[in-house]
Amino acid sequence: FISRDFLYLYGFNKIVKMEEIYQTFAGSHNGISYSTIIIFGAFIFLLLLTFLGQGGRVSEVLRKSSFFATMLLFIQGVLGVMMEYYSPAFVTWEGSNLVYFRYSISILISTGLMAYVTFLLKNTKKVSLFIVVLALSAALVFEYAYPWSKIFG
């Protein structure tokens, strides 16, 4: 069962504070965020380099970087949803709780766009303008959602 402050874990016969669960998800979410920025930035750099400089031929490195960027974005989005669900502010809020999920939903939209880009890169031999526009729109959605003030103060 879930109460306002505690969660009973059936398999472990243990009661856990919601604050402890929130701190666990927040730590994981913050730890993965830096690698997500690096891998996603490397993918965008490789995509633009391929599209503008190498004649558009899709390399194995580009395919793998798109796959890892998609996976990290998905993990980041799911951890964000779980983190916001177990957040103390979410539990005490009486109004619309959708405000708390704005960041996570944006990350999951970016993940969906990147999943489609990964699918297209897997099935084509050349990068088209459509793929570049989709990837850049995923990057813009990610850039909108990411809390840059936490990194740069």
Region 60-71: mean pLDDT is: 93
Q: What is the mean pLDDT of the chain?
A: 81
pLDDT of residue 106 exceeding 50: yes
Please give the angle made by the CA atoms of 3, 8 and 14, to the nearest 5 degrees.
140
The count of other CB atoms within 10 Å of the CB of residue 125 is: 8
pLDDT single digits (tens) 110-123? 999 999 999 999 99
**pLDDT at 1 (0 to 100):** 44
pLDDT of residue 8 exceeding 70: no
**pLDDT at 49 (0 to 100):** 92
**The CA-based dihedral angle spanning residues 31, 28, 92, 15, taken in that order and rounded to the nearest 10 degrees:** -150
